[in-house]
């Protein structure tokens, strides 16, 4: 079993949608279609990745470099979505995706990576903590309508 980490391609859309559905139980093809269009639009630095195991896409990481959004400096990046097929958890695939993403971000002089995690998602919080992430000084605010 060889895990290959490679750049995300437009053709990966259907596999990403399948992985996300396996995790969330929700069909979000339109969301990911829009996301990939944004990633591959002119002038954007594509830094999203997929993990293949024996030629099958089993995980993905969607991330981007900030371009000044929310007043965050351009030497920062964010992880939008990380997904691994549930039957492939605990094989180190998420860690491999993170290692490659971090390496890629260092290469383009990014100094900080952000992500959002649901307060109650202990498993994901533990994963990011193991990768060296700590609570941010930024607070996420919401207004329910």
CATH number at residue 89: 3.40.630.30
Q: Give domain status of residue 141, yes or no.
A: no
Grade residue 108 by pLDDT with cuts at 50, 70 and 90.
Answer: confident
- Judge if pTM exceeds 0.85: yes
Domain housing 44:
3-130
Taken as a whole, the chain contains a residue count of: 145
Residues 106, 103: Cα–Cα separation, whole Å: 5
Instruction: Name the residue among 35, 122, 26, 130 with its Cα closest to residue 78.
Output: 35
Q: Give domain status of residue 122, yes or no.
A: yes
Q: Give domain status of residue 136, yes or no.
A: no
Number of domains in the chain: 1
What is each CA distance from 97 to 59, 64, 132, in whole angstroms? 8, 14, 14
Q: Give domain status of residue 114, yes or no.
A: yes
Q: Which residues contact 78 (CB under 8 A, 6 or more apart)?
A: 63, 64, 66, 113, 114, 115
Instruction: Name the residue among 131, 120, 52 with its Cα closest to residue 98.
Output: 131
Highest mean pLDDT out of 41-55, 71-85, 115-129:
115-129
pLDDT tens digits, 39-74: 888 666 668 999 999 999 999 999 988 665 555 556
Rg (CA), the chain: 15
């Amino acid at each position: 079993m060889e895990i290959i980490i490679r750049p995300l391609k437009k053709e990966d859309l259907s596999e990403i949608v399948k992985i996300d559905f396996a995790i969330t139980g929700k069909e979000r093809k339109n969301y990911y279609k829009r996301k990939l269009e944004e990633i591959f639009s002119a002038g954007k630095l594509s830094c999203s990745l997929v993990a293949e195991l024996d030629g099958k896409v089993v995980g993905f990481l969607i991330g981007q470099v900030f371009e000044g959004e929310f007043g965050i400096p351009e030497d920062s990046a964010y992880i939008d979505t990380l997904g691994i097929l549930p039957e492939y958890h605990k094989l180190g695939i998420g860690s491999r995706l993170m290692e490659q993403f971090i390496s890629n971000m260092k290469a383009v002089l990014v100094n900080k990576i952000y992500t959002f995690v649901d307060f109650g998602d202990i498993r994901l919080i533990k994963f990011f903590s193991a990768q060296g992430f700590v609570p941010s000084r930024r607070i996420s605010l919401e207004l329910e309508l």
